[in-house]
Amino acid sequence: MLLELVLFLKNYKDKMEKLIITCAITGAEVTKEVNPAVPYTIEEMAQSAYEAYKAGASIIHLHARYDDGTPTQDKVRFKALADAILEKCPDVIVQVSTGGAVGMSRDERLDVLNISPEMATLDCGTLNFGGDDIFVNTENDIKYFAEKMNNLGVRYEMECFEKGHIDTTLRFIKKGIIQNHLHYSFVLGVRGGMTGEERDFLFLKESIPSSATFSVAGIGKYEFSLAELSIKHGGHVRVGLEDNIYLEKGILTKSNAELVEKVVKIAKKYGREIATPCETRKILEMEKNNGKTM
């Protein structure tokens, strides 16, 4: 029995892909008032990205902010941030956000594509964001964004906050609007979207094509419980100060790197090795020079 268990665990480990860790180093909403570690400036962003990369992150999910914390989709600011990050860690994958901030126009959100990013997010549905805020992504928005990214050769990660968003992607895949390797991000625990319970994760995981890869971004208290679920089920993980400001309940994280390090520890428990940026590109079927941020 012991030998059979050892062989089972070995086969289980051998079948598992290496773990891709994405770090969302800052967002459009979270501020230094809630956690002083949230980076705003170019220097802060580059250093935070470098520390997360050294800890095990192969993808840096990037929002742009001005030095006072104001969010922006200005391509000049994004270019300066991406260049500073790539100077410190040249092989990391910079994944730019096309989500922007609530209230931004379609073309304002897409301005960042003018810096020729290697990877970008594709939000796949509209969502209530609490209070009077609505994060609008109409079907025409999604089609417009996907076609722009297809034409530019940008690999996209489909951000889905609930099951209806996945259903939209499935229809768009059939129509040829969403193309190439299918990589999903389940963003769970956002007010107005699905919660981050195990049932929610499994429902989304079982709803995507079997050939697709997926990552999970758990918001707030769901960050690490969902990270562990995704690791156990062969998926990938996103953590970072955009999503969660705590290392433990009531204990503010000192850095993005601390959040990445905690995921690495969980991965070791399940025998998941951490993917390098090069290995991440292979898993996601990306070509290094296709749309590389310059």
Q: Which pLDDT does position 8 carry in this prediction? A: 43
Question: Can you give the residue range of the structural domain that contains 27?
Answer: 18-283
Reported as a single tens digit per residue, the pLDDT across 254-285 is 999 999 999 999 999 999 999 999 999 999 99
Reported as a single tens digit per residue, the pLDDT across 208-220 is 999 999 999 999 9
Domain-embedded: residue 294 = no
Read off the tokens for 141: 């928005």
Domain-embedded: residue 271 = yes
Cα of 222 vs its chain's centroid, Å: 15
Domain-embedded: residue 13 = no
CATH number of the domain encompassing residue 30: 3.20.20.70
- pLDDT for 289 beyond 80: no
Domain-embedded: residue 52 = yes
**Residue with the two structure tokens 């086969």:** 11
Reported as a single tens digit per residue, the pLDDT across 34-80 is 999 999 999 999 999 999 999 999 999 999 999 999 999 999 999 99
The pTM of the full predicted model, rounded to 2 decimals, is 0.92
Domain-embedded: residue 275 = yes
Q: Which pLDDT does position 104 carry in this prediction? A: 81
Domain-embedded: residue 71 = yes
Based on the structure, what is the number of domains in the chain? 1
**Alpha-carbon distance 101 to 96, whole Å?**
13
Domain-embedded: residue 2 = no
- pLDDT for 253 beyond 70: yes
Count of residues making up the chain: 294
Instruction: Quote the mean pLDDT of the chain.
Output: 92
Q: Which helix (H) or strand (E) holds 43?
A: helix 42-55
Domain-embedded: residue 235 = yes
Q: Who wins on pLDDT, 4 or 90?
A: 90
- Contacts of 246-255 with C-beta under 8 Å, sequence gap 24+, read 246/220, 249/221, 252/35, 252/37, 253/35, 253/37, 254/37, 255/37, 255/48, 255/51, 255/52
